[in-house]
Structure formats: C-alpha cells, structure tokens
Chains A and B, each alone.
Chain A
Amino acid sequence: MAKELKLMKGNEAIAEAAIRSGCDGYFGYPITPQSEVMEYLMAEKPWERTGMVVLQAESETSSINMVYGGAGVGKKVMTSSSSPGISLMQEGLTYLAGAELPAIIANVVRGGPGLGTIQPSQADYFQATKGGGHGDYQLFVLAPATVQEMYDFVFLGWEIAFKYRNPVMILSDGAIGQVMEKLYVGDYVPRWTDEELKKNAPWASYGKPANREHHIITSLELDSAKQEEHNHKLQAKYREMEEKEVRFETIDCEDADYIFVAYGSSARIAQKAIQLGREKGIKVGLLRPITLFPFPKKPIAEFSKKVKGILTVEMSAGQMVEDVRLAAEFRCPVEHFGRYGGIIHTPHEVLEALEEKIIKAK
C-alpha cells in the first residue's frame, strides 16, 4: 500500500479516513470540539469523487437515526459528535445495538456534566463502555491516542462493525481531535458495489429481490421468550469480542515496580511521567488499553500479581479505575488520578500522584 505523509488535526483524520475507507455516508451535527469532521467532508466534496453521501442533520437525534437507516440497508455509515451530542444519540445507539447494525460513531469528548465545557475530557468512559442507553448491550469501544490512530481506527472500525454486526465507538477527546500531527494515509478503498454490499451484509434491507423473503431490521420482539433468546445471542457476541478482540499496548513494563493504566491523551501524558519517574529512579511503566470494551482484564490481572501498585490516569473523577480494580482483585493497590472538567493533567502531577497515592501510602 502506498503511504502518503500528511499533517492533520485528529478530527480531519477521521474525515479523511472516512473518504479513503470507502464510507458510504456521513451524517452529523455541529458541536465543538469535533466540528472539523463535517467541515472537512463538506469542503472535500467526496460525493464528486467516491459517491459518499455527506449530510448535516437537524440534530444528533436525527443524525444517529440517519446512521441507523443507512446501516440497516447495509451501507458503511458513520457519525461523529462530542459529549452532549452523544448523550442525545443514546436512543439511536441502543437501537443500533438491539438491531445489530454496524456503524461507526466517533465521540470527541469534552468536559461535562451538562453543557459542561469545550475542553478535553475523558468523563464519558462509563457512558461509552457500560451501555449508555437502555437495555443490556455493549458498544465496541476503540480509544485512539494519536492522530494516526484516529485515521487507522476508522478502517479497523468497519472491520469490527461488520464482523460482529455491532456499532463501534471511537472514543477520543478534544485534545486528540484538535491536535495537529503527522500521519500516514494509504490508498483509497473503493466503496462497495451493490453486489459487494449483498455479499458483505446479506442480512440488510437493501430491497427485496423476487427470490427471497423480505428482510426486517428491528429491535422489537414482543414475545419475551424470543427477546431473552436474542439477548443471549448478544451476550455471546460480547463474550466472543472479549475472547478475540482485546487490544492494548505496554510501554516500559518489563522491569516496572508500578504501572500506569491510561488511554488516549492521558496515556501520552503518562508516557512523559514515566520518563520523569525513571529519571528519579522510580521504575514505572504504562499499560494503554486500546479497546475499552472489550477491556484488557487479563493483562491487568497479570500485572497486579507482579507490581507494587497501579495508578489509573484519566481526565475524569475516576471511571476506568473501577474496571482496573475489578481486574486487579485487590492483589495490589489501585488508585486513580485525574484532573477533569476540561483540565488536562501535567506529567509532573501524574508522577506526584504516583508517589503520594501509591509509593508513600504503602
């Protein structure tokens, strides 16, 4: 694959990836700090090059339901938004999960609660990984830490979404959305032809040919016995994801006495804190979850047997720390540190928290 070097904002990388990955439709609504996604698409006019549909909807409620419609007919469709807009989409997300529809939803998280602020945050972890809407369901959640990953995870997102017939959320934050970095982009993947669509999404409601029964896309099943059966099927799918699709990265963990667990922007800040710590003789490493659901429970459980303590670093009051504690099962101290409400912690603050909450507290 030919690689081309570009300099882009994270939000623009998502848009460029949409065009290059053969996306059929993007439906969005402006909200800071992710508006560049749709701005970039509207300026690029991909409908003239690839036939991709781009539409500004009247609300996030509408854009997620446009995604539901497009996904239901087997097309590769996506949307993006930021925290308050994603809250408004929760209805659509649970319908997508219930009807088992593939789609990509990018959340460029900002500080909350409520209208909150427009600065970066990671306080939507619970909403993204624990359902968010009603009913027992899971989104597949990818957490990019670089502009390159904003781009790459759109491609990976389609693969996962269609493989499991499940909505995929790309959970980033205002920092990754706004920062400009270099990234490599690859060749254009053509949009699916009608024949490819029928092959890749044989379940979809793309128009009934004479030789088959009609297809119905719905999350409704009034017979509760059948609805329970459907739920069993969903749960089995989520367990399969946990079995096969966990992704994470470890940095400087080989000799580590302590580890940080952090994703996205916080993982990058933690990397600098590792450097500062090691300069002071503190052997600390980083485990960076790349998939937040499925969560890397096993590697965290393994580390909890070896290290003296774990500090989760999140721009929230402490959300992922709950999953880390469940994985560590009290085998070592697990504490949380994070600034929130739109404030980004510094590497010095992170290291200081490790010293105060873990090392000195022992």
Chain B
Amino acid sequence: MFNPDIVKPENLVYKRTDVLTKAVMHYCPGCGHGTTHRIVAEVIEEMGIQDKAICIAPVGCSVLAYNYFEVDSLGAAHGRAPALATAIQRLFPDHHTFTYQGDGDLAAIGTAETIHACNRGENIVIIFINNGIYGMTGGQMAPTTLIGMKTATSPYGRTVELNGYPLQITELLAELPGTYYVTRQSVHTAAAVRKTKRAIRQAFENQKNKKGTSFVEVVSNCNSGWKMTAPKANEWMVENMFVKYPIGDIKVDGEKVK
C-alpha cells in the first residue's frame, strides 16, 4: 500500500545519479549499455570526480555516450579513443580520462591504438563492451563474433576458414606489462551489476593512484542484432559468449590471476 508520508529525502535509498544527463537513451531495451553507463556515472559521482572526468565516446552504438554522461566529453574517430585519452591524460595528469568502446571500435579498427596505449601503461580507464557484433550499423560480424554465429556479413555463420578466430583481445592485453588491471564482467543480473560496479570503481581508483591502464570488459547482449528477445539473448550470452569470454578478473594489481 502506498504511503505518501514516507516520501522524504531522509528515506531515500536509491536515485538517479546527476552524472547522467536527463536525455532519453537511444539504446535498445535489454541492452547492457544503459546499465553500464549508469554504473560508470555512479562511480564518478561516488568518487567526487565529475569535474575531472573526461569521457571519450567511440564510433558504434555508444557514439552518443557524450549525450548521457554529464561530464566534459569528446567524440573520437572510429577506434581512436585510446589515442585521444593518451594525450588528454598526459596533458591533465590528475584528471580521470576514460574511453567507452565497443568490440568493433576497440578490437578491429582501433587495435593498434588499444594495444599501444595499454603497452605504454597510459593512466587511463578503458570500458569495453563486447557483444560480438556491430550493433549500430545493423548487425555485421565483429572480431569477437563466435564461430557459427550468424550476422549480416556472416549470414551462414562465422567460419574459421573464411573469417578466422574470435579475438580474445582482453586476454591479449593482459599479457602487456603496461596493464595494471584487466577484468571481464557482465551486467545481466543484479549480482553481476554489483560485481561490475566494484570492478569499475577499482579501475578509477587505480587511475587516481596512477597505476597505469585499467581495462574493464563488459560482455553484453545485442538482442536486436542477435535477433532474440532480451531474456533469450541473456540466456544465449551465458551459454555461448561466457564460454569463449569467461567472466572474472584476468589481471589484478599488475599480476595475472592464476
């Protein structure tokens, strides 16, 4: 039963964060982008770093991320976000520059920028959304697309013969001495959201302590690109994506997790 008398500021247990704008997000219902945006924004608010946070938006589904984060932002050319972040963080060493990139942006066209920023140990945070597909351009094959997965450019399913193997870029980056923290998370359950929030908080804390590159992959569904309902897409993600892209920490405090 609704009791209007209890609606008071002192009873507030949950609210939207002011680090997100009031713009209506364009993301598909059930997609992980909205949740991940909110987590990043909450971490920025909780750490009190809104005035020092610089968001680098990619090209891809999150191309308009700068409309949602209430922080100063730049839209990068496709794949170049880590190059922008490199310069900005070196020019403002006490700022919190972070990139927010998808799998096509980070692991295909921007592979060089990603690997070299991580290898130099740039003191930046990289948030990497991996849904195994190019969502924005209409569901084409990504470097992380699983073998057998049907996309607009692999209509009969991805094959090794034609397309090579799904790229485990996160494991590859963990091999580089410049990365301090490399983890893979998801946002499909409340428990997963809480873990991802801890991971993203850890990444920004590392940056505050000038530890080098922190890299947080979030495996997400692309229900429209995968042509499934949102709940079905999450099930498929757990059964298939998590096999190739297992959830958990890969490198913590500069050491590979055994």
Contacts and interface: CB of A to CB of B under 8 A. Distances in A.
A55 B120 CA distance: 11
A66 B70 CA distance: 23
Nearest to B96: A207
A66 B84 contact: yes
Contacts of B73: 205, 214-218
Contact of A67 (B87, B95, B112, B113): B87
A70 B88 contact: yes
Interface string B36-67: 00000000000000111110110000011011
Contacts of A131: none
Contacts of A246: none
B91 A68 contact: no
Nearest to B113: A62
A112 interface: no
Contacts of B52: 207
Contacts of A205: 54, 72-74
B113 A206 contact: no
B74 A218 contact: yes
B75 A216 contact: yes
Interface in A198-215: 204-210, 214-215
B181 interface: no
Contact of A66 (B54, B71, B87): B87
A63 B83 CA distance: 7
A72 B77 contact: no
Contact of B85 (A69, A91, A214, A220): A69
B87 A216 contact: no
Given A61-B80, A72-B84, A95-B77, A208 B113 contact: no
Nearest to A27: B87
Interface residues of A, number: 39
A24 interface: yes
Nearest to B18: A210
Interface residues of B, number: 35
A298 B77 CA distance: 38
Interface in B79-121: 80, 83-88, 90-92, 95, 112-113, 116
Contact of A68 (B50, B57, B64, B80): B80
Nearest to A55: B90
A206 B66 CA distance: 14
Interface in A77-104: 77, 91-92, 95, 99
Contacts of A69: 56, 74, 76, 83-88
A175 B222 CA distance: 55
B69 interface: yes
A197 B146 CA distance: 47
Contact of B70 (A62, A77, A214, A218): A214
A66 B120 CA distance: 14
A96 B70 CA distance: 23
B112 A210 contact: no
B40 to A, nearest CB: 14
Contacts of A9: none
Contacts of A63: 83
Interface string A30-66: 0000000000000000000000010101110111011
A207 B72 CA distance: 5
B25 to A, nearest CB: 15
Contacts of B75: 99, 216-220
Interface string A6-17: 000000000000
Given A207-B92, A216-B66, A57 B83 contact: yes
Contact of B71 (A61, A62, A214, A219): A214
Contacts of A92: 77, 80
Interface of B: 21, 50-54, 56-57, 63-64, 66-67, 69-77, 80, 83-88, 90-92, 95, 112-113, 116
Given A53-B90, A207-B71, A214-B21, 9 more contacts: A25-B87, A58-B113, A72-B84, A77-B87, A92-B80, A95-B77, A208-B70, A209-B51, A214-B69
